[in-house]
Amino acid sequence: MRERMLFLSARSHTPGDREGDIRTENFLNMLLERFDIDLLEYCYHRRETQILRSPALTVHQVKRPASTRRSLLFPLNRLRKDASMIGNDKSLRAVITEMCSQHAYSHVFVSYAMLGNGLDLVASLLPGAVIVTDARRAGGIRVQSRAAGKRGISTGYRKLNDALIRREERRLMNKTSLLLAASEDEALSFKALSFADAGKVHVVPPYINLSAPPYAAAGDTAKDNSIVLHWNMYSTDGKNAALLFFKKVYPLIRAAVPDIRCCIISREVHAEVAAAVRNDSSILIISEAIQTADYIRRARAVVASCCEDCGAQSSILEAWALRTPVVSSLKGSEELLCEPGRNILLAGTTADTADHLIRLLTTPELGSIIADQAYRTLSRHYAADGVKAKLLSLV
């Protein structure tokens, strides 16, 4: 007999966190194989989780109120930033309370954006349920890396921020039954906080379904002299990365490879980016709404964003599945099992980025070797069947 699960998900009104959205959707689709799921989505108007429609899934939505001055006064640390509004929304609390009273949920899945007060509420209402949390956005590693090397008045702020995050992470580990991290580094950072709760922490990486149509026929495709820029170019960081690329990197590539073509793939493209490339006939903007796999498959290289939270991780995995080499940065690829020079090329400067891309454009054999090694890495660690089997064995 299938057990019943309550799945709590919160969505933003901006397209900012593409990685988190994809991760939440993947968890939901995998868990539908074992559970009858009540999905409670806390979202702004017209923001819906992309899911496979199933008779085992019942969707409930609570409209998230528009931001007010008070709601902008978030707590200091990032972990509770999203959760602070959730705990204060009386309508959401009422819906969760009603659902928990009507159904005997054996499991509760709490997505990263519903941590904090959302976790506290379900723990108090369902003391006997198995609570599974996705702690991808806890972000202790990222926040601490930003604090490194900082001086001046921000030093005290960042130290206090780190201390508050560690306290929240310890509390999170204590309340949850199973904590899912996105990478080995994140898992180790949690385990180091509490040896008593270290056994609750497991790594569930992102995955690609290699048997799906876009990837199943990615073997022998002729490459052309094109590169693909694939990340969220609507966010501030993504926009700035794109503008920097077209100002300092692309002219160097055009000088070395005059017949180069560049394809921009993004769900939304910022107006400044569109204006910057409007008069260049070698640059094509492609919406993610259409089939983009062919562009990636035929390209000599994919450039994944060098900044975090711009979709670099999913862009890298998609390129690996389509056997196209990737150029990224240490920050953009930090959650994946990357071997620089073997399955990916990492750049620390704009000059490095241009150099790597020119090498891939002018040396097809190098790109083929890197793409083959990347595909083997993907098959071993990020194939859908293996990741799904691991998740279902844990719950």
Residue 316, SS3? helix
Asked if 49 and 24 count as a contact pair (C-beta separation under 8 A), the reply is yes
What's the fold here for domain 213-381? Rossmann fold (3.40.50)
Spatial CA neighbour of 116 closest among 91, 143, 85: 85
pLDDT digits (tens, 9 = 90+) for 3-12: 999 999 886 5
Q: Do domains 3-204 and 213-381 have the same CATH topology?
A: yes
Element (H, E) at 188: helix 184-191
Strand partners for 184: none
What's the fold here for domain 3-204? Rossmann fold (3.40.50)
Domain residue ranges of the chain, discontinuous segments joined by +: 3-204, 213-381
Element (H, E) at 328: strand 326-328
Cα–Cα distance measured from residue 102 to residue 190, given in angstroms and rounded to the nearest whole number: 34
Residue ranges of the alpha helices (H) in 4-153?
Answer: 18-31, 83-88, 90-102, 117-125, 140-147
Cβ contacts of 86 within 8 Å, gap of 6 or more: 10, 42, 92, 114, 116, 117, 118
pTM of the complete model:
0.83
Spatial CA neighbour of 191 closest among 160, 78, 183, 391: 183
pLDDT means per 10 residues, the chain with 395 residues, are: 90 60 88 94 63 82 64 47 53 91 94 78 91 71 50 74 83 91 89 93 92 73 92 88 96 96 92 95 82 91 78 89 94 87 95 97 96 96 94 93
Strand partners for 62: 42
- Count, residues in the chain: 395
pLDDT digits (tens, 9 = 90+) for 101-145: 999 999 999 988 787 667 888 989 999 999 999 987 544 444 454
